[in-house]
Amino acid sequence: MTQPRKPVKRRDATGHLDPEYERGLLEQSASNRRADGDSNAFLTTTNPEEELAEELGEAFVGAATSGGDVEGDRHERIVPEESGGPFVTTTANEEFAGGTDESNIAEATREPLPRTSKAEP
């Protein structure tokens, strides 16, 4: 198991930005500044692992270019998962094994109720 990440301290008790966190933010935003002192309003790279950010960005661009709210239409669109998705149809004979194996021997006795341990009740 991996250790849980240490939470990032963003603000102090009075609500001010933590100086170390603020310094990190300024360093990250420096990549958007150009040599002439002007800065880019939007990110120039994308991270494909951020699905929510991508969805929100697409919603913003849709709303900005159409002049209306497109989020309702985006939620109502049909996605492949709703019509079965990428599943392969097979028969029960292909899916379920027949006969017995090492964990299910023919001489086994049937328990009246499922048991979670070998200890006697």
State the pTM of this model. Answer: 0.30
Taking the C-alpha atoms of residue 67 and residue 61, their distance in angstroms, rounded to an integer, is: 10
- Judged against a pLDDT cut of 70, whether residue 94 lies above it is answered with yes
pLDDT exceeding 90 applies to what percent of the chain? 0
What count of residues does the chain have? 121
pLDDT in tens, 8-31: 778 888 888 888 888 888 888 776
CA angle 15, 16, 17 (to 5 degrees): 120
3-class DSSP string for 52-92: HHHHHHHHHHHHHHHCCCCHHHHHHCCCHHHHCCCCCCCCH
